[in-house]
């Protein structure tokens, strides 16, 4: 539980994400990465979004195995993405077993594409300078 | 008492943080690798497996009518080629369905994991054929195909290695069963198991 609450404090909300500037190593780098989507910039959340972009849907245990993480960590980060509308969560019973299935929403796909474009433009910018 | 030097805190030298473009490249690499891993995870096309199973049942019916072993072998070689084409096409289709050009790994992983047992099977077929031990060939094929599916399936969803184990069990059965059951084992393995597990994969993992 303590782990979850710590993780929550670190994670910005979607509203914050849209306005937050990238935390970069130096002052000069700050200007090079404006409006970076901090919500998916975090490694595990970026991994969840990327894995879901490559599959129509994945269950909680599929994602846990893919990301090689703990139940608590995955659920905290998945909830953040769900609250932001980037992924959709469905709960159902497979026989007697409860299952949680995640899908990438159109908004989530747009966010990933925009993040990819952002990264590519940063690389191009550095190469041209 | 001698005068003591005041304690100074020595700050360890911090390494330079990586440049922004290096971090951007690292992020892109991470996205690509995660997507490749995730696609390999469910990259096997369930409906492709069903199609392979259906053609294998037809092949086992045709092969059972052949009067010589050479013709029987020819039927299964043709079926093997058709299956490879179906597998390649269906996996490519599933990978393209995710609309992400970064994906490129699943096909490579499948080829690398299945190639060694298929090559070993081909060589053993020649050796067994020359030695006149043709009755062992169906069992050897099922067993080796099963090992390839188990090892390749370790990167994939749990149902894939289970399918491989079922192939291995059938192969073991075929090796010790009377030769007149060979076509039944081939139909049950390459036909039945592909269809059953193909439906499971298609229903659970989107096609």
β-sheet with A97-104: strand ranges across: A58-59, A97-104, A87-94
Q: Give B202 to chain A, closest Cα distance, Å.
A: 11
Interchain pair A29, B41: CB under 8 A: no
pLDDT in tens, B67-100: 899 999 999 999 999 998 998 888 777 766 655 5
Query: Residue A102 pLDDT more than 80?
Result: yes
Of all helices (H) and strands (E), which one includes residue B149?
Answer: helix B137-153
- What are the distances in angstroms from CA B85 to CA A65, B48, B92, B197? 30, 10, 11, 19
Using 50, 70 and 90 to split pLDDT, how confident is the model at A4?
very low
Mean pLDDT of A39-44: 89
Q: Check residue B35 and give left, alpha or beta (phi > 0: left; psi -120 to 50: alpha).
A: alpha
Q: Give B91 to chain A, closest Cα distance, Å.
A: 13
Query: What's the confidence (pLDDT) of residue B77?
Result: 93
Chain B residue numbers with beta carbons less than 8 Å from the beta carbon of A58 are 38, 41-42
Chain A residue nearest residue B101, CA to CA:
A54
Query: For residues B43 and B141, what is the distance between their CA atoms, to the nearest angstrom?
Result: 24
Query: Residue A69 pLDDT more than 50?
Result: yes
CB contact at 8 A, B124 and B109? no
Query: For residues A33 and B24, what is the distance between their CA atoms, to the nearest angstrom?
Result: 10
Which residue in A50, A56, A122 is closest to B21 by CB distance? Answer: A122
Query: What's the confidence (pLDDT) of residue A18?
Result: 42
Q: Cβ atoms within 10 A of the Cβ of A43, count?
A: 13
Query: What's the confidence (pLDDT) of residue A5?
Result: 39
Q: Check residue A35 and give left, alpha or beta (phi > 0: left; psi -120 to 50: alpha).
A: left
Number of H helices, E strands in chain B: 8, 0
Query: What's the confidence (pLDDT) of residue A55?
Result: 80
Query: For residues B45 and B88, what is the distance between their CA atoms, to the nearest angstrom?
Result: 9
Q: What is the mean pLDDT of chain B?
A: 84
Using 50, 70 and 90 to split pLDDT, how confident is the model at B151?
confident
Of the given ranges (A19-28, A101-110, B37-46), which has the lowest mean pLDDT? A19-28
Query: For residues A1 and A7, what is the distance between their CA atoms, to the nearest angstrom?
Result: 10
Q: Three-class SS of residue A99?
A: strand
Instruction: Please classify residue A129 by burial: count the beta carbons closer than 10 Å to its beta carbon, then call 0-12 exposed, 13-18 middle and 19+ buried.
Output: exposed
Selected residue with higher pLDDT from B25 and B107: B25
Using 50, 70 and 90 to split pLDDT, how confident is the model at A56?
confident
pLDDT in tens, B102-119: 445 556 666 777 889 989
Interchain pair A123, B21: CB under 8 A: yes
Query: Residue B146 pLDDT more than 90?
Result: yes
Query: What's the confidence (pLDDT) of residue B161?
Result: 87
Query: For residues B192 and B198, what is the distance between their CA atoms, to the nearest angstrom?
Result: 10
Query: What's the confidence (pLDDT) of residue B125?
Result: 93
Q: What is the mean pLDDT of chain A?
A: 76
Selected residue with higher pLDDT from A24 and B113: B113
Quote the tokens at residue B33: 């690798």
ipTM entry? 0.70
| Antiparallel, parallel or unpaired: β A87-94 and A97-104 | antiparallel
Q: Give A76 to chain B, closest Cα distance, Å.
A: 19
């Amino acid at each position: 539980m303590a782990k979850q609450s710590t993780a929550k404090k670190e994670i910005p909300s979607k509203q914050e994400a849209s306005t937050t500037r990238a935390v970069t190593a130096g002052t000069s780098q700050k200007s090079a990465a404006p409006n970076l989507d901090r919500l998916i910039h975090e490694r595990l959340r970026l991994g969840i979004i990327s894995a879901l972009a490559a599959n129509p849907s994945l269950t909680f245990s599929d994602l846990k195995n893919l990301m090689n993480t703990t139940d608590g960590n995955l659920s905290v980060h998945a909830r953040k993405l769900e609250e932001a509308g980037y992924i959709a969560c469905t709960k159902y019973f497979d026989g007697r077993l409860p299952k949680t299935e995640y899908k990438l929403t159109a908004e989530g796909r747009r966010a990933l594409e925009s993040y990819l474009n952002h990264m590519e433009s940063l690389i191009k910018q550095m190469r041209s300078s | 008492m001698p005068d003591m030097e005041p304690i100074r805190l020595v700050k360890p030298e911090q390494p330079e943080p990586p440049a922004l473009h290096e971090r951007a490249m690292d992020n892109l690499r991470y996205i690509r690798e995660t997507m490749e891993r995730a696609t390999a995870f469910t990259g096997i096309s369930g409906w492709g497996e069903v199609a392979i199973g259906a053609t294998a049942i037809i092949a086992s019916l045709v092969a059972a009518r052949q009067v010589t072993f050479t013709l029987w072998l020819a039927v299964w070689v043709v079926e093997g080629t058709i299956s490879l084409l179906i597998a390649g096409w269906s996996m490519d289709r599933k990978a393209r369905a995710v609309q992400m050009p970064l994906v490129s790994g699943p096909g490579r992983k499948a080829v690398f994991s299945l190639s060694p047992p298929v090559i070993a099977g081909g060589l053993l077929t020649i050796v067994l054929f020359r030695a006149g031990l043709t009755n062992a060939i169906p069992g050897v094929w099922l067993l080796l195909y099963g090992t390839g599916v188990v090892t390749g399936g370790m990167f994939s969803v749990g149902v894939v290695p289970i399918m491989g184990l079922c192939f291995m069990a059938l192969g073991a059965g075929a090796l010790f069963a009377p030769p007149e059951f060979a076509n039944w084992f081939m139909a049950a393995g390459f036909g039945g198991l592909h269809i059953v597990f193909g439906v499971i994969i298609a229903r659970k993992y989107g096609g």
